[in-house]
Chains A and B, each alone.
Chain A
Amino acid sequence: MMRRLLYPALALLLVPAAARGQSCDVVSSGTTSFVNQGTPQEMVFVTIPVLACPGGRRISADNAYISQASGVVQLMGSVQFQDSARTLRSTNAQYFSRAQRLSASGSVVLVHRTTNSTIRSEQLEYTEATPQRPSHVQAMGGQPVAVFRQAGQPDSTVLRAQQIDIFNDDRLRGTGDARLERDSLVALAMIIEYAQSDGRLDLSGLRTQVNLPRYELIADSTTVTLGDDEQIREVLARHSASLDAEDMDVSAGAIRLFFEDGGVTRMVAMPWTPRPGAVAAGQARVVNEQFNMVADSVDVLAPRQQLQEAVAIGRAHVERATPDSLRPYLPEAADDIMRLIAHDWMEGDTVRAFFTGPVDPVVAAQAAADAAPGDTAAARAAAAAAAVPPGDPSERVLERLYASGGPARAMHKMRPENAAVDAKLSIAYLVGQHVEVTFIDGVVSLVSASEDVRGVYLQPADAARRTDGQPANPRARR
């Protein structure tokens, strides 16, 4: 779960508008020298000044030099600049009163005293807001680090980058090897930007990375959107996106993740227009230990973080990972042939995969008992499922594949009726408007297809002899 990146206003109130033009009081000082007073060359030097200025601001340094002509204030050595809520410490600082800009250098630390939020860098520029521009804090040099905290809350948001910018106390940007950490989220990018008003975190630059528990998302551009409940609502990774999740790997032009209660409930892999000159990403590809899905787009639904359905749309091709391999039996087969028959697969304009929880042995036993007379395959599958110990309820298994349009094509391997476990496999290849294959515990249980289905069913020679004169595959339905 990630909480919203709310951060306190870190911009110093250098000169509050109401205090502009008012002078400071000297709390203490060493030597104060006014030179050329009343002339354009008027200057003031003060050693170890401690100044109390309007708006509750307090300024101290080892030395201060003020040029009335240029409006430049130079603070040298042990500079401390604080307003009602924030403190800036640095080795040196310059304040350009006409430009309303402060430039601090040397071990700069800007602290929000109430929340203990900080920015550390070697240099820090602060430009005050004017009607023409927003306020702007820019930290650079010495690996700037910004740590944002909320008052009374232990958690923090940490941003590291070669340069950190805060605009108008509302928009945050880290540039150059930027790394943002917040709760369980780690974001890496060339540029990280966060707009507090719309709760949007943008990552850009080559190979941005978002790490969340169980997910690693890589793309050239990523947007994280946060809801009012301070949690991630959506992540959109664009341009050659890839997702490395605990239970699946995904690659596509873009990947969109939808979150509820801190977990992913939907994932959409889809095409995305490449940047000019960039190579277009291939089709969306989703790889799971149970299936391999390729299509123009893939939509995976997982309400309550339970994998429920995966929909592959547009030139969809789905392979089901099976333990059986024909390689030992076909050593002479070419690689492309082996790729064709190595796993069960389906193709079509759309392929849908449906998932369910592990088979309940009690239910499966009842199914075996209720199997239609003569439907030995169904009975055998149900009985096999019943023999399996109860699995992890959070584990999801492939229940059904449905291909349509295109036309739909399917190839799957199965053992003939009443065959031994180590019996040779039969191969079914079907073409039709739609084809549907149902599984029980990883075994093909039922194949159904549209009326226009056609295809071939290849049996090992010995099995063919045994089934001579009988339907080739009694489990197939039209």
Chain B
Amino acid sequence: MGPVTADYEPLPADQVLEGVEHVMTQAGVRQSVLKADSSLIFDDSAAIHLRGVNLDMFNEQGRLHATLTSAQGRLDQNSNQMVAVGSVVLVIHEGANAGRILTEELHYDPQQRVVWSNVRTERVFPGGQRGTMDSFRADDRFGNFQMQGYRGYAPQLRF
């Protein structure tokens, strides 16, 4: 634990890492790269608390597919599951769901290749149109995307 003075907020962790970069792979293929401004590690927990999160997600071709940023996050060292919390912005760079997803909490399971959120989430399309959903679940390529209570712009619904 670092020095504690009246001017510094105590960090309730056993270890604090700065400028962490965590590369997640599957079968040797890079799936995502997690960067955090700082990481708080606890001796009695497998969860790493992240601050200043930036997650790059890659497709099978190794191309950057999506980027996630959030104020905080939590990474399970055993499963690599991650939860981004606070001002979460997921930018999908390509594909039918290109655009931004804004929420306060977003889960990512690299093993299952699933992204989801159980709280209100907003979608912003490349043209600036918006849609809102109560929750969603998608694969990390966003080819399969399931939303609950969606309302707003829906480019796929053409009549």
Which A residues are closer than 8 A to B by beta carbons? 14-15, 21-39, 42, 44, 46, 49, 51, 53, 57, 59, 66, 68, 73, 95, 97
Write 16 A-B pairs (CB below 8 A) sorted by A numbering. A22-B158, A23-B157, A24-B154, A24-B159, A25-B152, A26-B153, A26-B154, A29-B147, A31-B148, A32-B147, A32-B150, A34-B156, A49-B157, A51-B157, A51-B159, A66-B156
Interchain CB contact under 8 A, A42 and B96: yes
Q: Which residues of B contact A59 (CB under 8 A)?
A: 159
B149 smallest CB distance to A (angstroms): 7
- B54 in the interface (beta carbon within 8 A): no
Per-residue interface assignment for chain B, residues 115 to 158, with 1 indicating a CB less than 8 Å from any chain A CB and 0 otherwise: 00000000000000001010000000011111111111111111
For the side of the interface on B, what is the size category? 20 to 34
Given A59-B159, A68-B156, decide whether A30 and B143 contact each other with a Cβ distance below 8 A. no
Q: Which residues of A contact B159 (CB under 8 A)?
A: 14-15, 24, 51, 53, 57, 59, 73, 95, 97
A59 smallest CB distance to B (angstroms): 6
Among residues of A, the one whose C-beta sits closest to the C-beta of B136 is: A32
A37 smallest CB distance to B (angstroms): 4
Given A29-B150, A37-B97, A38-B95, decide whether A23 and B143 contact each other with a Cβ distance below 8 A. no
A32–B148 Cα distance when bound, in Å, is 6
Among residues of B, the one whose C-beta sits closest to the C-beta of A48 is: B149
Per-residue interface assignment for chain B, residues 58 to 97, with 1 indicating a CB less than 8 Å from any chain A CB and 0 otherwise: 0000000000000000000000000000000000000111
Q: Which residues of B contact A42 (CB under 8 A)?
A: 96, 156
Q: Which residues of B contact A35 (CB under 8 A)?
A: 143-144
Q: Which residues of A contact B150 (CB under 8 A)?
A: 26, 29, 32
Interchain CB contact under 8 A, A23 and B155: yes
Among residues of B, the one whose C-beta sits closest to the C-beta of A43 is: B156
Q: Which residues of B contact A49 (CB under 8 A)?
A: 157
Q: Which residues of A contact B147 (CB under 8 A)?
A: 29, 31-33
Interchain CB contact under 8 A, A34 and B149: no
A82 smallest CB distance to B (angstroms): 12
Interchain CB contact under 8 A, B154 and A97: no
Interchain CB contact under 8 A, B95 and A37: yes
Interchain CB contact under 8 A, A28 and B144: no
Cβ-closest 6 pairs across A and B: A37-B96, A34-B145, A33-B146, A32-B150, A32-B147, A24-B157
Q: A interface, by DSSP: helix, strand, loop or mixed?
A: strand
Given A23-B155, A23-B156, A24-B157, decide whether A39 and B143 contact each other with a Cβ distance below 8 A. yes
Among residues of B, the one whose C-beta sits closest to the C-beta of A35 is: B144
Given A30-B149, A31-B147, A36-B144, decide whether A44 and B158 contact each other with a Cβ distance below 8 A. no
Q: Which residues of B contact A26 (CB under 8 A)?
A: 131, 150-154, 157
A14–B158 Cα distance when bound, in Å, is 11
Interchain CB contact under 8 A, B143 and A37: yes
B69 smallest CB distance to A (angstroms): 23
A202 smallest CB distance to B (angstroms): 36
Instruction: Please pick, from B97, B148, B157, the residue contacting A30 in the complex, using a CB distance under 8 A.
Output: B148
Among residues of B, the one whose C-beta sits closest to the C-beta of A44 is: B156
Beyond A35-B143, A35-B144, A44-B157: 5 further Cβ-contacts under 8 Å? A23-B155, A26-B153, A66-B156, A68-B156, A97-B158
**Most-contacted residue by chain B among A24, A34, A49, A59 (CB, 10 A):** A34
Interchain CB contact under 8 A, B145 and A21: no
Per-residue interface assignment for chain B, residues 19 to 49, with 1 indicating a CB less than 8 Å from any chain A CB and 0 otherwise: 0000000000000000000000000000000
Q: Which residues of A contact B145 (CB under 8 A)?
A: 33-34, 37
A359–B135 Cα distance when bound, in Å, is 94
A50–B95 Cα distance when bound, in Å, is 26
**Most-contacted residue by chain B among A25, A37, A66 (CB, 10 A):** A37
Given A22-B158, A37-B96, decide whether A28 and B149 contact each other with a Cβ distance below 8 A. yes
A256–B150 Cα distance when bound, in Å, is 65
A210–B154 Cα distance when bound, in Å, is 53
Given A66-B156, A66-B157, decide whether A34 and B151 contact each other with a Cβ distance below 8 A. no
Q: Which residues of A contact B143 (CB under 8 A)?
A: 34-39
A49–B147 Cα distance when bound, in Å, is 12
B102 smallest CB distance to A (angstroms): 17
Q: Which residues of A contact B144 (CB under 8 A)?
A: 33-37
A37–B150 Cα distance when bound, in Å, is 17
**Most-contacted residue by chain B among A14, A30, A57 (CB, 10 A):** A30
Q: Which residues of A contact B157 (CB under 8 A)?
A: 23-24, 26, 44, 46, 49, 51, 53, 66
Q: Which residues of B contact A34 (CB under 8 A)?
A: 96-97, 143-146, 156
Q: Which residues of A contact B148 (CB under 8 A)?
A: 30-32
A88 smallest CB distance to B (angstroms): 13
A378 smallest CB distance to B (angstroms): 86
Among residues of A, the one whose C-beta sits closest to the C-beta of B133 is: A32
A84 smallest CB distance to B (angstroms): 15
**Most-contacted residue by chain A among B142, B147, B152 (CB, 10 A):** B147
A49–B150 Cα distance when bound, in Å, is 9
A283 smallest CB distance to B (angstroms): 62
Interchain CB contact under 8 A, B156 and A38: no
